[in-house]
Amino acid sequence: MSENEYDIVIVGSGCAGPAAAKKAAELGLKVLLLEKSQKPGEKNVSGTCLNMAALVDPDLQYLMKGPIEREIYEMHSYMITPERTTMFRETPSEGIILLSIRRDVFDAWHTDMAKKAGAEVKLSTTVIDIIEENGKIKGVVTDSGDKYYGKMVIDAAGVNSIVGRKAGLIPKRKGQNMILYTILNVHLGEKLVDERFGNSIYYFLSPNAMHKTWAWAFPKREVVTFGTGGYMDDELFKDGITSVNDYMQNLIDLPVIKEKIEGGKIASWGLHLEFDEAIERRTRDGLILTGEAGGFVIPFLGEGMPEAFFTGIYAAESAKKAIDANDFSAEKLEEHFMERYQENIFLQGFRYVADLNKKSILTKTDEEIAEIMQNVCIGGGFISNAIHTLWMKGAEEDNMDFVQEAKDFYEFIQPYRQVGSETIEIYKKMRAQK
């Protein structure tokens, strides 16, 4: 193989990219990982909490060894009614629910893991085009005009991936099924974050502080990240709201938040668009789309990192199989990739819950959504809502099929729901191996 020829060329070193590169290198392949930033994660404001229910999967346990900002044990949800009554609910858990991270630190560590496994990494390298021959994707072209060839290309370039678009797999966005988020980082210092936020995450529902979604606060070591925004429909801007920044301003003006951030400094304030559109095909001959590039994200539940890690790993495995069999056809790649994807209870459970909740929540008022949120713990409230919605539909329409579907789903996700109490033990073991 010549210098610019590889088994696999991977584009993007966010979540999916390093996971794919590490796995592929461990499988003995010659891997190139390309990332446009100078330091992986430096521009990534999104993705702040890792879900422990996903991390206990043996494929992802190594991520517990990474740089963690805070272990999250509890969830607090606040519902503020139009009359400004505050209802508060505390949901402790048996184990760690989430691990909060900083993407600039975590992505850099993860990229280093891929490097240690044997992948070659090139930073400050932006991919601008793909190389195609007789319908097969053969490599990529970078902004400096360099060409890199791979038996396989893995696209892990996230929401704005150029690779997927150039390959004709990511359609032109239609301006619907999107959530526009605004993110605010407030620097308070470790002591104040400890005192005021501790090891909990916070959800808030309040009039004019979000639209068809919910606002949250995720504490890091010294900084607290706030997020809110709105589902992009005709009602996103009304009642004096002219931009999603108004939602954020109204959120941090709530007395319950104002007192918590007093004395803090705004470190950054930014916007982020998330697409909630299924992508029809994720493979072409010689190419697999992973993570957000492949539509593996659930903006509705603020979840996308586990999807990206898992699909990155599955793509690397599919690429290895393709190389061994010398068969790079889209069908073959899809076969193994989807087999692994479909047997993953966490991914399937989350997807099912998200789809049903989305349909149900979009028809509800903000007050009704708030009621659902009152029950949310590790997806528990969403799961109950999904099951309840199906059950009620079955009763209303006198159709037992919906009731059966609710029951089947409930049984399917049992292993995932039982995992909670083991997390601490696995986490301690992994941290000890760091």
Ligand X SMILES: Cc1cc2nc3c(=O)[nH]c(=O)nc-3n(C[C@H](O)[C@H](O)[C@H](O)COP(=O)(O)OP(=O)(O)OC[C@H]3O[C@@H](n4cnc5c(N)ncnc54)[C@H](O)[C@@H]3O)c2cc1C
Least distance in Å: CB of 232 to ligand X?
13
**Residue from the set 75, 127, 169, 406 that interacts with ligand X by CB under 6 A:** 127
Computed from CA positions of residues 110, 113, 117, 120, in that sequence, does the dihedral angle turn out positive or negative? positive
Between 163 and 322, CB nearer to ligand X? 163
Q: Please report, as residue ranges, which positions from 145 to 204 form the binding site for ligand X (by CB under 6 A).
A: 156-158, 162, 181, 183
Binding piece for ligand X, criterion CB under 6 A, among 47-55, 86-94, 319-327, 371-379: 47-55
**Residue from the set 37, 185, 283, 344 that interacts with ligand X by CB under 6 A:** 37
Nearest to 117 by CA among 19, 35, 2: 19
Count the neighbouring beta carbons within 10 Å of the beta carbon of residue 335.
13
For the chain, the distance separating the N- and C-terminal CA atoms, rounded to the nearest angstrom, is 35
Least distance in Å: CB of 184 to ligand X?
10
Phi, psi of 292 (to 5 degrees): -65, -30
420 contacts ligand X (rule: CB under 6 A): no
Coil/strand/helix, residue 216: strand
**Residue from the set 6, 7, 8, 13 that interacts with ligand X by CB under 6 A:** 13
Between 15 and 79, CB nearer to ligand X? 15
44 contacts ligand X (rule: CB under 6 A): yes
Is 180:232 a contact under the CB 8 Å cutoff? yes
Binding piece for ligand X, criterion CB under 6 A, among 46-54, 67-75, 76-84, 170-178: 46-54
Between 75 and 406, CB nearer to ligand X? 75
Extract long-range pairs of 379-384: CB within 8 Å, 24+ residues apart: 379/53, 379/301, 379/349, 379/350, 379/353, 380/417, 382/301, 382/353, 382/354, 382/357, 383/349, 383/353, 383/413, 383/417
Binding piece for ligand X, criterion CB under 6 A, among 112-120, 169-177, 260-268, 286-294: 286-294
Between 220 and 284, CB nearer to ligand X? 220
| Six token digits for residue 419 | 């995992």
Measured at the alpha carbon of residue 15, what is the angle toward residues 13 and 19, in degrees to the nearest 5? 85
Q: Please report, as residue ranges, which positions from 364 to 383 form the binding site for ligand X (by CB under 6 A).
A: none
Which residues in this chain contact ligand X in the complex, by CB under 6 A? 11-17, 34-37, 40, 44, 46-49, 126-127, 156-158, 162, 181, 183, 227, 272, 274, 291-293, 297, 302-306, 308
